[in-house]
Amino acid sequence: MKKRGTGRARDGFTLVELLVAMAVGLIMLVALVELMSSAIAATNGGNRHMDADTEARWVLDRIGSDIARMTKRSDVDYYFAKNNPGSDQMVFYSESSGYYPSGVSSGSTGGTVSLVGYRINASNQMERLSKGLAWNGVAGLPSGASPMVYLPATILGTWPAITATGASTDSDNQVVGDQVFRMELCYLVQNSTVSATLSDTPYLAPNTTYAGLEDVQAIVVTIAVLDPKSQLLVSGAALAAAGQQLPHVTGTASATNPNPIPTAPAALWQAQIAANGLGLPKAAAGQVRVYQRYYYLNHTQTL
């Protein structure tokens, strides 16, 4: 009688083998999902940085264009406000185009000078003031036209609505940076006795007036930017509070105090952000970008 063989062919996997295969596949799937999530997050972060970079470049270029055309005379006023808490503000005359009221144009009774300025409004956005001015003393000045004024008449006294903290808003302001939520100003000043140094005022003590910005070598503008997607993660009040956490620089340069501001605002702000000192959610705080530019002045008279 023929004996039956003791072994038999294996035509499937054992339960243990199936469980091992499933575990390995699950591990690979989790790793793939994490890799894809990291790639998506990196892409989104890169796109947000590009959005911030693009807006900051445009805003800083616009400021540079206006400063390059700034009217630098000892008989006109400048308005530079250090606001603590809050953002700083600057307003000056510039040979940049501005908005004229109906019936006035730069080619008729208007002039070639505008009142130009920058501030952060109550909605945490950068605004640009651009008020086209008519020449002072022009005959038949149309109703509503604003003439350029000379000292002792001041910018603030003539146009009180320009201030960021004023009760009313000047109609010639427009938003130019909806991602810019903080601005800080300081000045690189120098004369025959003081080497170039940063100061919170556009003159060297004991001077108390701007006098055509004769002591200013450069206006230093620092801005903080948060892209729109990241702004959705925070309230307007939280964003304003975060802006107040970015340090202000203070100190007036003089012969006896030649280095009142040892560190420029951008470095101070970056340190504050790195220390998680803005009070924002981590996802938003990590997207705050800081930009700083020195605008060197040409002291040739423009008028």
Mean per-residue pLDDT pooled into runs of 10, the chain (303 residues): 53 79 86 74 66 94 96 92 92 89 61 90 94 72 75 92 70 93 96 90 88 93 96 95 96 90 96 95 93 90 48
Q: What does R_g of the chain's alpha carbons equal in angstroms?
A: 29
Using alpha carbons, list the distances in angstroms from residue 262 to 96, 253, 303: 34, 11, 35
The pLDDT score that the predictor gives to residue 120 is 95
The pLDDT score that the predictor gives to residue 9 is 53
- Residue 177 CA to residue 225 CA, distance in Å, equals 9
The pLDDT score that the predictor gives to residue 212 is 87
The pLDDT score that the predictor gives to residue 303 is 45
- Please choose, from the candidates 156, 176, 168, 181, the residue with its C-alpha nearest in 3D space to the C-alpha of residue 244: 181
